[in-house]
């Protein structure tokens, strides 16, 4: 049984006071009321160390939003997976559609970043998803399949013995659903997640392929979370806007 993961991608939002307060409030709620899911926050880089302190001992996990492929070196403005781990991260989001679009990241680069995450002991959350044009052209599954085949690590990720799942997470985020208020229908989500599951089992074998959590992302809100989280092979959510509001993020976790 895969325990659900509710991950907050803060993107480029949050200054120190608000970000630390938000993380601290979430940590306080998790300590007071053991949630039924795993919570993860992925703040912008300048907040990582302060947020690590704010969530210490609460069970809330910390993640970065990207990493470089190298461990160190002359790469101005970049951050390595080792640096994220050093800041207290256990996770890193890779290949988000905003990075694929804004920074021209290819699936092969995302795969190299996933290898860097593994080297540093981080769990990579590898994002895939089709654009509106690709869905309208009936190519959603084809696009997602090639992103999965080309972005995920070549070698099987480690699996933890129980609910914690594997040291790899896949996030299905239809590009047209991100920040738009539009969400994929439960039947579309079910179709895509089942297809990703089939690919994971093909790539890594039944045990590992079944242990990898597959998140849905794209306008997840308290009002649609329960319906989405009930879909087969949906093992949690990657939440953007609603992760910046404590009550909304908590309510999404409560829907698991
Ligand atoms: P929204 O929840 O704001 O649509 O963002 C989704 C997302 O991109 C999470 O990575």
Closest ligand 1 atom, residue 127 Cα = 10
Domain tally for the chain?
A: 1
Active-site annotation holder among 68, 82, 96, 193: 96
> 10 Å Cβ neighbour count for 230?
12
> 10 Å Cβ neighbour count for 24?
18
Classify each residue of 237-248 as buried b or exposed e, where b means 16 or more C-beta atoms within 10 Å of its C-beta: bbbbbbbbebeb
Distance CA 161, CA 248 (A): 31
Verify whether ligand 1 is closer than 6 Å to residue 6 (CB atom): no
CB 65 within 8 A of CB 96: yes
Known catalytic residue: 195? no
ipTM score assigned to the predicted complex: 0.99
* Smallest CA separation from ligand 1 atom 7, residue: 240
Residues 6+ apart with CB under 8 A from 4: 36, 37, 38, 213, 229, 235, 236, 237, 256
How much distance in Å is there from the Cα of 119 to the middle of ligand 1?
A: 27
Verify whether ligand 1 is closer than 6 Å to residue 7 (CB atom): no
Closest ligand 1 atom, residue 221 Cα = 2
Distance CA 131, CA 115 (A): 26
Distance CA 102, CA 239 (A): 19
Residue of 184, 155, 156 whose CA lies nearest to 171: 184
Q: Domain of 171: which CATH number?
A: 3.20.20.70
Verify whether ligand 1 is closer than 6 Å to residue 218 (CB atom): yes
> Rg of the chain over CA atoms, in angstroms?
17
pTM over 0.95, yes/no: yes
Q: Which two tokens stand for residue 103?
A: 């920074």
Closest ligand 1 atom, residue 178 Cα = 4
Domain of 63 in residue numbering reads as: 5-254
Residue of 6, 203, 179 whose CA lies nearest to 98: 179
How much distance in Å is there from the Cα of 205 to the middle of ligand 1?
A: 30
pLDDT digits (tens), the chain, 256 positions? 799 999 999 999 999 999 999 999 999 999 999 999 999 999 999 999 999 999 999 999 999 999 999 999 999 999 999 999 999 999 999 999 999 999 999 999 999 999 999 999 999 999 999 999 999 999 999 999 999 999 999 988 887 655 566 899 999 999 999 999 999 999 999 999 999 999 999 999 999 999 999 999 999 999 999 999 999 999 999 999 999 999 999 999 999 9
Known catalytic residue: 96? yes
Residue with tokens 């179709």: 191
């Amino acid at each position: 049984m895969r325990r659900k993961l509710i991950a907050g991608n803060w993107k480029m939002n949050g200054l120190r006071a608000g970000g630390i307060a938000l993380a601290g409030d979430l940590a306080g709620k998790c300590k007071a009321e053991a949630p039924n899911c795993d919570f993860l926050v992925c703040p912008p880089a300048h907040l990582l160390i302060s947020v690590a302190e704010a969530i210490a001992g609460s069970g809330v996990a910390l993640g970065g939003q990207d990493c470089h492929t190298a461990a160190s070196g002359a790469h101005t403005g970049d951050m390595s997976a080792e640096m994220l781990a050093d800041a207290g991260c256990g996770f890193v989001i890779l290949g988000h559609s905003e990075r694929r679009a804004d920074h021209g990241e290819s699936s092969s680069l995302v795969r190299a970043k996933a290898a860097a995450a593994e080297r540093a002991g981080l769990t990579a959350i590898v994002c895939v998803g089709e654009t509106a044009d690709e869905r309208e052209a009936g190519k959603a599954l084809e696009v997602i399949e090639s992103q999965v085949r080309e972005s995920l690590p070549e070698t099987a990720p480690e699996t933890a013995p129980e609910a914690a799942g594997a040291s790899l997470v896949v996030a299905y985020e239809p590009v047209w659903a991100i920040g738009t208020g539009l969400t994929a229908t439960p039947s579309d989500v079910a179709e895509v997640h089942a297809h990703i599951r089939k690919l994971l089992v093909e790539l890594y074998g039944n045990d590992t392929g079944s242990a990898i959590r597959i998140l849905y992302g794209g306008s997840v809100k308290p009002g649609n979370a329960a319906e989405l989280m009930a879909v087969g092979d949906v093992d949690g959510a990657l939440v953007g806007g609603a992760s910046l509001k404590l009550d909304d993020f908590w309510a999404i976790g409560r829907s698991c």
